[in-house]
Structure 1
Amino acid sequence: MRATRTQLAGYDSMTGAKRCTQKEMILNLFHSPFMTLTRQEIADRTNLRLSSVCGRVFELLRDGELKVRGSQKCAATGADNETLGLPATI
């Protein structure tokens, strides 16, 4: 899916501090390395828009701060949703 010019302009106008705050909000949900959440669960718990969660999760995955840990079926749609969690530490 491609972002519209309006979406890109909105993202660009957001300060770096706000983006970091959203990332911190997401990371703060993971209290242990065993906890996993879907993007929708993250959006529900942080009151962030799902589109914002997806953008920040993309950045966190890219930076190695989160990992895809599996998937679960959505009860409403039957679609598989990735579950995310902290990287496993050895």
Structure 2
Amino acid sequence: MRATHTQLAGYDSVTGTKRCTQKQMILNLFYSEHLTLTRQEISDRTNLRLSSVCGRVRELLDDEALSVRGTQKCAATGVLNETLGLPAEVTA
């Protein structure tokens, strides 16, 4: 599905500062390299809408600031959800 001009304009109207603040809020949750969270858990802990979390997580994954670390079964739905965490250190 392609985004319309109105949708793109709406996205662009959100300031870069707001997006950066949301990304920093998400990164601040990962105080340990062993901690992993689902997108829903991130949403619950930050009080950000799930759609905002998904967008910022995608950007953080693209920036390699976060990585997919596994999956976790949702207790309510039984669906497998990705767990996210800080990238594992690459050893030479």
What are the Cα deviations for residues 4-63 of structure 1, in whole angstroms up to 9, with x where unaligned?
Answer: 665433321110011000000000000110000000000000000000000000000001
CA distance in 1, matches of 2:28, 2:58: 16
The equivalences for 1:3-82 within 5 A come to 7-82=7-82
Runs of 4+ aligned residues of structure 1 deviating over 2 Å after TM superposition are: 1-10
Mark the CA change 1:7 to 1:37 in structure 2 (over 3 Å): closer, same or farther: farther
SS at match of 2:29: coil
Larger mean CA deviation between 40-49 and 6-15 belongs to 6-15
**CA-atom RMSD, angstroms?**
1.6
Mark the CA change 1:17 to 1:55 in structure 2 (over 3 Å): closer, same or farther: same
Unaligned runs of 5+ in 2: none
Aligned residues: 90
TM-score if structure 2 supplies the norm length?
Answer: 0.89
CA distance in 2, matches of 1:24, 1:80: 26
CA distance in 2, matches of 1:8, 1:80: 31
TM-score if structure 1 supplies the norm length?
Answer: 0.91
